[in-house]
A and B are shown apart, each in its own frame.
Chain A
Amino acid sequence: MKRFETSGAPYLQPEASVSQMMTRLLLSLVPAAAVYTWFFGPGLLLNILVASAVGLMAEALVLNLRKRPLKPYLGDGSVLVTAVLFAWCLPPAMPWWITATGMIFAVVFAKHLYGGLGNNPFNPAMAGYVLVLISFPQEMTRWLPMTALASNGPDALQTLWATFTGELGGGLQWDAVTMATPLDYMKTELARLTTMPEIKSHVMFGDFAGRGYEWVGNFIALGGAWMIYKNVIRWHIPVAVIAGVLIPATLAYMVDPGSNGSPGLHLFSGATLLGAFYIATDPVSAATSPRGRLIFGLGVGVITFVVRKWGGYPDGIAFGVLLMNAAAPLIDHFTRPRVYGNEQ
């Protein structure tokens, strides 16, 4: 007798599984990572390596403690996505123990104490990042300049050495080889009443924002566009985040171009594009309805701009994302779509 295969609902299979989505996200970041490495040396790759290894170990440990099967949770790629995004936010050649601290916090506290993937109210990568940002403020400012700009910068081997010992070998000093990021430089110089044209004449600035960073930004936007095309993310949050940064930035620039960064600088500096396409779009911790997503994204963008302009930190994407994560359930509560047939 021929048997007809039956199974329970849902009958419409979703197009992509979790691991497929995560793989696509990671793939779309490869070009940007290559460009980053080309301009700034192998520090990013080392950070990703450390963060992934520590992240997988922490995940395995917690799964073991919670008596959950290892394979489906470790294999879905969500830890790797957290690790890559977290590592991307760190300065290159970060000492490994700082990367590990942030990653353990991200996986254990921000994710598994809430029940693991799908339950975390805060974006784990950003929770880990803010933890190390407020705990290791000095190390978090050690940004290496573009390799083309620095004749005395650390080579690949020295970067490796720095990642694992925290010291630069070969008689190099951190102060001598690091450089402020464009946003950081802009903030300190504006506080000293330097005007914007003078600031932008510094060698680190290219057409809009930091040289090198602009190109990384282009490829991140490209990867993000591909993710939207492939339905990994929806367009609402990226568009809203970018609008949230650009609208106040443009207004401020129109009022006083001498003491405000141009909209292009805001768009291509810091983590605007990475945050808009990759970080704020985390489907678990963001708002869920289309209207809610627009509000969520706008909030992230505006908070980022406010922190950049008036706050104590050079960039605010991480704080914007965490604050709007905290607001997401309330946003969802007030933007709940009307159930068909119910009154307005």
Chain B
Amino acid sequence: MKELALIILSTVLVNNFVLVKFLGLCPFMGVSRKLESALGMASATTFVLTVSAACSYLVDTYLLAPLELEYLRTIAFILVIAAVVQFTEMMVQKVSPLLYQVLGIYLPLITTNCAVLGVALLNVQESHTFVESLVYGFGAATGFSLVLALFAAMRERMAMADVPEPFQGAAIALITAGLMSMAFLGFTGLA
């Protein structure tokens, strides 16, 4: 139990996927203009990340490893992630058409979120068990959601700020992300 709590703490704060490992920056920059869409993206990514972390573990352990096909790992994981995203999309569309409309284009875009592939590959690299992989994926997704929500709220406020012209838009957003990343260094040594 203690290891699992440490994994959560580590992935959410200490080794945050966006601010410390610099993974998943595209949706972090792209879907953070409005808080509402950022929250939708965060919840969809959380679901996909957790499920795909578990699925890619199963594929790796019960399919690739027995057949000695580890060299196909990257491409197999991409396939798994794409399948999970497709499945999520179909399920959301059936279960809650409203949420499907809110998420819109962002749902299929999760396929290209490098944090999702990153989690799957890091799980193999750190030889996590099934439960650990699941928790690792969930923690990474929680950390991603946390900073995405914080960042979106900050950008909404910055939209009103008198930013010098050369720094408007993506430039000031990246500087803000850098400053947030500096702040997250304070968690060094926690886990």
Contacts and interface: CB of A to CB of B under 8 A. Distances in A.
Contacts of A329: 150, 153-154, 156-157
A237 interface: no
B183 A119 contact: no
B176 A121 contact: yes
B179 A322 contact: yes
Contact of B179 (A110, A112, A116): A110
Contacts of A323: 183-184, 186
A116 B164 CA distance: 9
B1 interface: no
Nearest to B157: A329
Nearest to A134: B185
A134 B150 contact: no
A326 B158 CA distance: 12
A127 B156 contact: no
A330 B188 contact: no
A323 B16 CA distance: 13
A327 interface: yes
Interface string B141-162: 0000000011101101110011
Interface string A111-129: 0111110010110000100
Given A121-B154, A322-B179, A330-B153, A313 B186 contact: yes
Nearest to B184: A323
B186 A316 contact: yes
A178 B189 CA distance: 25
Nearest to B162: A115
B183 A113 contact: no
A112 B175 CA distance: 12
Given A121-B154, A330-B153, A320 B179 contact: no
Contacts of A306: 190
Interface in A105-148: 109-110, 112-116, 119, 121-122, 127, 130-131, 134
Interface string A59-76: 000000010000000000
B163 A115 contact: yes
A217 to B, nearest CB: 22
A319 B184 CA distance: 7
B153 A312 contact: no
Contact of A319 (B151, B162, B185): B185
Contacts of B175: 109, 113
A326 B176 CA distance: 9
Nearest to B35: A333
A63 B119 CA distance: 45
Contact of A303 (B154, B186, B188): B186
A66 B185 contact: no
Interface of B: 35, 149-151, 153-154, 156-158, 161-164, 167, 172, 175-176, 179-180, 182-190
Given A115-B164, A310-B190, 17 more contacts: A66-B164, A109-B175, A114-B161, A114-B172, A116-B162, A121-B154, A121-B176, A122-B179, A130-B182, A134-B182, A311-B190, A322-B186, A323-B186, A326-B154, A326-B183, A329-B153, A333-B156
Closest 6 CB pairs of A and B: A319-B186, A312-B189, A115-B162, A322-B183, A329-B153, A119-B161
17 contacts: A110-B179, A121-B154, A130-B183, A131-B182, A310-B189, A311-B188, A311-B189, A312-B188, A313-B188, A313-B189, A319-B187, A322-B182, A322-B183, A325-B183, A326-B154, A329-B153, A329-B156
